[in-house]
Structure formats: C-alpha cells, structure tokens
Structure 1
C-alpha cells in the first residue's frame, strides 16, 4: 500500500517528539453517507501516561450502545471504509493476509477496554443519552499521543452496532466485536492549544 493509506510507522517517522505532558488531539467525526451522526472526540495525554478521552457524538439513540474504536489508518478518501478494513490479498507466496481494522500493533484479539490483552484501538462502546447525544469522558492506558505507538494520524470510528467486547460466539467477535458498519469517523490530529 502506498499514498494516503500507509501505516503510521511510515508516515510519522519525522514527526517532532513532544513532551508527555499536556499533549492535546482532536478528531471531528462526520457521517459521509448521510451526515446524521457527527461530533468530536478530544484526547489529552496526562503526566502519568494515560490518555483522557472525552467528547460528544450526536444522533446516537438514547440508551443504545455503539462500538467505538481507533482504526489503523487516517485515510477517509472512501468515507469510513478506508480507515482500515480486513483486506485480503493473494500472491504466489501468501495465501491470505489480514491488515487489521482496529489499531493493533501487538496483534492481540479484540476485547474490551478493561481487558489486559486487547487491540490498542479497542475503546468499547459509547452510549446515547438525553437528546440522543452520547457524552463520554474516560481514561485509557494503552493509547498514546506521542512516541512510536501514537494514535495521531489514525482515525476514530463509531460503528452501527454495540461492540460485544470479544465475548460473542462468532469468529468476528475476536476481530471486530461484531460492531457492524461504520456510522461516522474522523482523523485524529494535534489540537491547537
């Protein structure tokens, strides 16, 4: 793969190294198909290395859960589908190779945000609230805004269904949490302070 959809290790080799205190990032989420689901996600890397994730996503029905993940690519040229799919390619030497959808540098199975082993991008679910707005504010210890495992330049995706956190009875549960299609997405970038 080349161009926009390169892996982050290729596209941020020369990015400036920032201190671990007070680094801010944001993703503005849009729904490329009909514009109904939209919002923003803010990220702040704290001194202890955790990242505070907060934001609001509009048009998530009250009390309904939607899968919420960091995906491998920040490429939205084909809407939310180019943010990282399970692509297969065939060649003389390889029968089938997956390029994971969720950001997963450790090659773990899909799981919930509280599980010890999971994709780095597995952030669980957001939940619709009053006025059909999902508001959230939580800390995560695996995602980073600096260093070789930074999520800057990757994307945030809100899915059409609840993430089963890898506890479902299908093969897709351990890959995607059976969260279904993509309702909205946005590229994560440094936020002007």
Structure 2
C-alpha cells in the first residue's frame, strides 16, 4: 500500500515539474508537450496497479508511401515500417475491403489506410475489437479493445477505448477511402492490436457524446457489418 502511495506522489511530482517548466527533459524530442498517465486497476492475486506515463504524441505529415518524419524525429527511408493487413468481409453480401496498418517507430502513431466498398452511404464506426475470433462471424470478436477499462470516446479524446478509431464515411457509390493516423494503437508492445479484429459498424459512432449507456459503451454505432483479423505481414 505504501509503495502505491509513493508511486502516485512521484507521478504527480513529475507532472507538476513538466507542466511548470512547459518542456520535456533535455535530449527528448517534444518541447512543450503534455505527459499523460493511464492506469490499469489491480487484479486480485494476480497483479498490482499498473501506471503508464507517456508523452502526448506528435502526428507525422508525409506522402502516401513514406512520411519524411514522425513529429520532430526524422525517419530512415531505408528502414521499412512494421506492417499489418486486414481483409474485411461483410456479414451480408457486397461489403469488402482491405486496409494496411503501418508503424515506423515502436510505440509511435499507426497509419491506417485502404478502401471499403459495398457500404450504405454515410458514416460508419470503425473499431478494434478485443478478439481475433471469426468463428461466429463478427459477433465473436467481442467488444471494443479496452485494456485500460475506460469509457468509450473519440480518437482524439484523452479518455477512450484503445480500439476507438472514430468514423469513416462512404460516398454515394458505397466506397469509403480511409486514411487515419492514430496515436495510441500499436503493432507491438502492450498496446498492440495485432491478432485482434477490426470491425465496421452499421451506423455512425457518436463518440460517447450522447450521455446514454449505449453511447458510453460503443457510441450507439449499431451491430458490426464487416470485420477482419489484423495480421502482421512484416
């Protein structure tokens, strides 16, 4: 119990120092960015409280094939990214798509891009599901991937399910062109989504804004209409 209190005091002190100086430690990129603390509750007879302190991510800007930098960290064009692929299949006929996930630095942002066709025009929620299990179709993939036991939110909310990727929008032709940069999911480490499932919902995700029980659970985005397992390819 005492060690838990000392850990909380240490984290609080560290946050105070960084916010007061409005900078990060010398030699670490990210001048002026905030520190964020996520906690994982204890599991009786298995593990104590877990705390993860990380810096507010920087998002990269680059071309379709290879970003030149990840925030203020230059990327080596000779080093290929860690990549995964998702082949989406619809619960009914007609919906299909293929998405790639690319990550150039361990723990850094993940670029999700690709196309999905056969959709009803309009927005649809996109989520990482907890299980890569398709034995009963999309139903068996489970709820949103949520290792930190948070409420549902939007992709840029400080509190959200790890698997909350927001919405994609299909045009009148039923095709959605997807290009998302997410700062929290990863293809390796404790936030890895590899081996889990990507799920597409029938309706728009309200990002937890409606104030209802369903909104706090899944954004009232309806049933999953397409899904696929996130498989590493490199």
TM range (shorter): 0.7 to 0.9
Higher relative contact order (CA 8 A, sep 6+): 1
Note the residue ranges of structure 1 that are not aligned, 5 or more in a row: 1-19, 85-100
Written as runs of structure 1 = structure 2, the 5 A alignment for 1:46-85 is: 46-47=104-105, 49-62=108-121, 64-84=122-142
- Give TM-score, length-normalised by structure 2: 0.63
Q: Which residue of 1 aligns with 2:225?
A: 183
In structure 2, relative to structure 1, the CA distance for the partners of 1:44 and 1:177 (3 Å cut) is same
Moved more, 166-175 or 44-53: 44-53
Q: 1:146 aligns with which of 188, 200, 207?
A: 188
Deviation at 1:37, TM superposition (A): 1.2
Deviation at 1:167, TM superposition (A): 0.4
Instruction: Check the 8 A contact 1:21/1:45 in 2, yes or no.
Output: no
Q: Does 1:29 align with 2:88?
A: yes
Q: In 2, distance between residues paired with 1:21 and 1:115?
A: 30
Note the residue ranges of structure 2 that are not aligned, 5 or more in a row: 1-78
Q: In 2, distance between residues paired with 1:147 and 1:161?
A: 31
- CA RMSD in angstroms comes to 1.6
Instruction: Check the 8 A contact 1:37/1:184 in 2, yes or no.
Output: yes
Q: Which residue of 2 aligns with 1:132?
A: 174
Q: 1:163 aligns with which of 205, 208, 212?
A: 205
1:52-108 Cα offsets, whole Å, 9 max, x none, are: 01111102233x000100000000100000001xxxxxxxxxxxxxxxx10011111
Q: How many residues align?
A: 155
Deviation at 1:117, TM superposition (A): 0.9
- Give TM-score, length-normalised by structure 1: 0.76
Q: 1:110 aligns with which of 134, 142, 152?
A: 152
Deviation at 1:174, TM superposition (A): 0.6
Runs of 4 or more, structure 1, over 4 Å off, are none
Find the structure with the greater CA-based Rg. Answer: 2
